[in-house]
Amino acid sequence: MAEVLKPADPAQLAEAVAWAAGEGAALEVRGAGSKREFGRPVAAERILDLGGLAGVSLYEPEELVLSAAAGTPLREIQNLLAQRCQQLAFEPPDYGRLLGGTPEAQSIGGVLAANLSGSRRIKAGAARDHFLGFKAVTGRGEAVKSGGRVVKNVTGYDLSKLMAGSFGTLAVLSEVTVKVLPAPEKIRTVLIYGQRLGDGVAALARAAGSPHEVSGLAYLDAAAARRSAVDYVSGPDRAVTAIRIEGPAPSVEHRCQALRAMFALTATVEELHGSNSARFWREITDVADLLPAGTEILWRLSLTPSAAPAVISAIRDALGGEAFCDWAGGLVWLSLPPTVDAGHQAVRQAVGGAGHAILVRAPAELRARVPVFQPEPEALARLTARIKESFDPRHILNPGRMYAGL
């Protein structure tokens, strides 16, 4: 059983990492552990548990800024923001159940380290776009800080963007500062029933190009729609093209009417209000409820939206499986039957130059053999290695989490 190091404050964190750097002792960096199965298995005999670094240190609703220790549970931050009718606008997904863990257990540091964003990304941007600053300890055992408490910050390199999506392989976050925004007054969703995949993605592109400020664009085939707990989605037993509108009540009503009129001549159109809309988009963002039972192999494809129908068709022809789209087709969740190699060559061949593919869920033995993250071109791989050497020269932080040997 792995030894657990659990620092109670930033000073103890720096001491623990400095000791590991001196000894060359590999550390598995863990917040709440909800994304432990995301990425390659980490080869480390010690776990660096950040659960002792918790608590909101600054919240200024008028300035739209919040700072918290990296181990702070995300639900605590969301509850605090809800009291002031504010939110994390990048809509962080909860992959707890998706990855075989506990829902509502993730930490704010883990969300940012993985750069996870929900359906609102098409409007609000990614998690990294809301990441204003941080304090951390590098793999050298050095305490560093970057960024600040304002959106515009001219301090040199924007290291927050580098930390977001690094999966704890460069530095251990101890405190993060994020931008917060007002929560919408009203949420509604226009549903278009029965469209084929190509027509559905084209409809989403049309909505995205309209003046109606959409905040969610998804396509579910009939199989995925049947798994929804929202009756208006599952009941018709047909594919669903979904367009979300948020904002002040009069504006939302006007924009929904305009969208309904836009598509009413060519399709059956319905509308979700308040709680049903919120529940439906939570299903899409958290993914797990819309997948086939027993799904073992799961891919996350980031694509040029217009390429999604062709990529999905090519993969289905080669491997079977099911898929649904978010981000107007820019994000595709693809479940596949179990295979010896997760179908990685066929998946990445189908994706080609249209984007990249990440193997989100598979047995640990398979994730150790198959490239989990998109293989990098040689020049970019050399740059990645140099960055790793700069921050963590002894490779003690989550070694091998993203790429073998790093």
User: Could you give all domains of the chain from N- to C-terminal order, each with its CATH number?
Assistant: 49-182 (3.30.465.10), 186-288 (3.30.70.2190), 291-369 (3.30.70.1150)
At residue 148, the pLDDT reads 73
Please give the pLDDT value at position 147. Answer: 85
| Model pLDDT, residue 157 | 61
Distances (CA, A) of 209 to 161, 182, 284, 394: 28, 24, 22, 48
Query: What tens digit of pLDDT does each residue of 123-146 get?
Result: 999 999 999 999 999 999 999 999
- State the pLDDT at residue 2: 82
Compute the distance between CA of residue 89 and CA of residue 59 in angstroms, rounded to an integer.
Answer: 16
Question: How confident is the model at residue 13, as a pLDDT?
Answer: 98
Please indicate, yes or no, whether the overall pTM of this predicted structure exceeds 0.85. yes
* The predicted structure's pLDDT at residue 152: 47
User: Smallest Cα–Cα separation from 178: which of 119, 124, 142, 139?
Assistant: 124
202/216 Cα distance (integer angstroms): 15
Using one digit for the tens of pLDDT, what is the confidence trace for 58-107? Answer: 999 999 999 999 999 999 999 999 999 999 999 999 999 999 989 999 99
Q: What is the pLDDT of residues 265-305, one digit of tens each?
A: 777 899 999 899 999 999 999 999 999 988 899 999 999 99
State the pLDDT at residue 149: 66
pLDDT at 154: 43
Tens of each residue's pLDDT in the chain, 406 residues: 789 999 999 999 999 999 999 999 999 999 999 999 999 999 899 999 999 999 999 999 999 999 999 999 999 999 999 999 999 999 999 999 999 989 999 999 999 999 999 999 999 999 999 999 999 999 999 999 998 765 444 445 689 999 999 999 999 999 999 999 999 999 999 999 999 999 999 999 999 999 999 999 999 999 999 999 999 999 999 999 999 999 999 999 999 999 999 998 777 899 999 899 999 999 999 999 999 988 899 999 999 999 999 999 999 999 999 999 999 999 999 999 999 999 999 999 999 999 999 999 999 999 999 999 999 999 999 999 999 999 999 999 999 999 998 9
Q: What is the pLDDT of residue 294?
A: 83
Nearest C-alpha neighbor of 362 from the set 305, 295, 304, 282: 295
Q: What are the CA-CA distances from residue 363 to residues 117, 338, 344, 359 (Å)? A: 24, 10, 14, 11
Tokens coding 343: 């179908």
